[in-house]
Amino acid sequence: MPTCLKNIGKLLNPKPDGSFEEISDAAILFDREIIACGSESEILPEARVSGTEIVDAEGMLVTPGLVDSHTHPAFAEFRAGEFELRNRGSSYKEIAASGGGIRSSVRSLRALSEDELVLRMLPRLDTFLRYGITTVEAKSGYGLSLDQELKQLRALKRCGDQHPLELIPTLLAAHEIPDEYRENRRKYLDVVVNEIIPAAAENKLAQFCDVFCERGVFSVEESRVVLETGKRYGLIPKIHADQLTYTGGAELAAEVGAASAEHLDFISEIGIERMVEAGVVFTLLPGAVVFLGLTRYPPARRILEMGGKVALATDFNPGSSPTQNLALIITLACVFCKMTIREALWSATLGGAYALRLNHRIGSLHPQKQADFVVWDYSDERLIPYNYGMNMVREVYKNGSLVIRKGMRV
Ligand code: NIG
Ligand code: FE
């Protein structure tokens, strides 16, 4: 039986060109998918005839569900001690070099059973929904061995199978060199290429293959090997590029035809050009810049001027960005990257869908696309970034089912 959401004060529907269709006094008719969406005077009579259940948006704003296209939720423990160290003057890189950082998350993840990991992740998935996020890309990358990377990917699959949130899995075995291969990095790369990528692909546990291309982590040459191997196994490339230093990761993203390149705080002008030409999405993560106490933001204005497609994501992880609040990231993108409110909202919805190559079924509200949408606590979208750090989500529908009511999980 379809449902009709009536009395929508303002419906903002992202369009492929980066703008929005805006409808006042709107209604949406839906089951698992959108059936029709438009002005209430057209939709409501149609709904009444078919005996549809009618629910009231009380004049509020409705947008598509937010799409968080870059997260690392499969971790064991938060790393608050590192926040304290940075607060006293250490840098993210120094902490990593002394054995902390990603490698500390690897040690705690390895000590946790798959069942326990599932139990720790499920409440995090509820939190994403409470922030209006209906699709999440989720990376491995804290296992760094065949068994441990597969354990994370299996745990992600089990979570996705029992939770309404949709999880899109990414293999990030090339996130760091684990402790046992520090003296022989070449050998770890062989494990990634010859064992982990084939096993993840053959077991259908990942759709994307990612790499942390950064000075002191994986070079451009090594990253190319990882991403090309992933492609041979049917995994779409994604890349952490030009985050802390310029490496040329953006140029590599264009060369291998990545779906998106992410962070990009140090991207070059040529990197921007090549990514635009190759149609690679620019996934910006200003939360990681703020949280690490850094000052260089990705050049969002230049990227948009040159015609780039931008996605905004939380980068939720225990090191550089322990937040699941994508609306807060919209605020940061407005304040520090000088994106307009509408550009930022577009980037957190349809932009994220493009970054995951899922724009045919999520990211905007059209017949045959998924009925994933948010009813906000007000009718003015400017209040999304304005009420920064607050959660102003009222209701969330995922595949047509009400999953959040009055901000709480139902
Ligand atoms: O996107 N840069 C690499 N990976 C993550 C951080 C992971 C961590 O510190 O645990 C990021 O910032
Ligand atoms: Fe990341």
For Cα atoms 232, 236, 238, give the angle at the middle one, nearest 5 degrees. 125
Q: Is the pLDDT of residue 46 over 90?
A: no
Question: How confident is the model at residue 75, as a pLDDT?
Answer: 98
Residue extents of the structural domains in the chain: 3-65+363-409, 66-355
Compute φ and ψ for 4, nearest 5 degrees.
Answer: -120, 125
Q: Is the pLDDT of residue 3 over 80?
A: yes
Report the distance separating Cα 148 and Cα 352, nearest Å. Answer: 28
The domains spanning 3-65+363-409 and 66-355 adopt the same CATH topology:
no
What are the tokens at 158?
């089990």
For Cα atoms 352, 357, 362, give the angle at the middle one, nearest 5 degrees. 60
Interhelix angle 249-256/269-278, rounded to 10 degrees, is: 20
Probe ligand 1: pick from 140, 315, 323, 329, max atoms within 8 Å of CB?
315
Sheet with 208-211: strands ordered across: 66-68, 133-139, 166-174, 208-211, 236-241, 260-263, 281-284, 310-312
* CA of residue 343 to ligand 2 center, whole Å: 22
Q: Is the pLDDT of residue 50 over 80?
A: no
What would the mean pLDDT of 122-139 be, rounded to a whole number?
A: 98
Pocket-forming residues, ligand 1, beta carbon under 6 Å: 72, 101-102, 105, 212, 240, 243, 288, 315, 317-320
Atom of ligand 1 nearest to the CA of 70: 1
Other beta carbons within 10 angstroms of residue 212's beta carbon come to: 22
Question: How confident is the model at residue 1, as a pLDDT?
Answer: 85
| CATH topology (fold) of 3-65+363-409 | Urease, subunit C; domain 1 (2.30.40)
What would the mean pLDDT of 100-107 be, rounded to a whole number?
A: 97
What are the tokens at 185?
């990095």
Report the percent of the chain where pLDDT is more than 90: 98
The mean of the pLDDT values for the chain is 97
Q: What is the CATH number of domain 66-355?
A: 3.20.20.140
Question: How confident is the model at residue 391, as a pLDDT?
Answer: 97
Q: Is the pLDDT of residue 116 over 90?
A: yes
Report the distance separating Cα 410 and Cα 404, nearest Å. Answer: 5
Q: How confident is the model at residue 36 (pLDDT cuts 50, 70, 90)?
A: very high
Report the distance separating Cα 280 and Cα 289, nearest Å. Answer: 22
Q: How many helices (H) and strands (E) does the chain have?
A: 17, 17
Atom of ligand 1 nearest to the CA of 318: 10
Probe ligand 1: pick from 79, 98, 139, 317, max atoms within 8 Å of CB?
317
Query: How confident is the model over 366-394, as pLDDT tens digits?
Result: 999 999 999 999 999 999 999 999 999 99
What would the mean pLDDT of 24-32 be, rounded to a whole number?
A: 98
Q: Which has the closest alpha carbon to 62: 31, 32, 21, 33?
A: 21
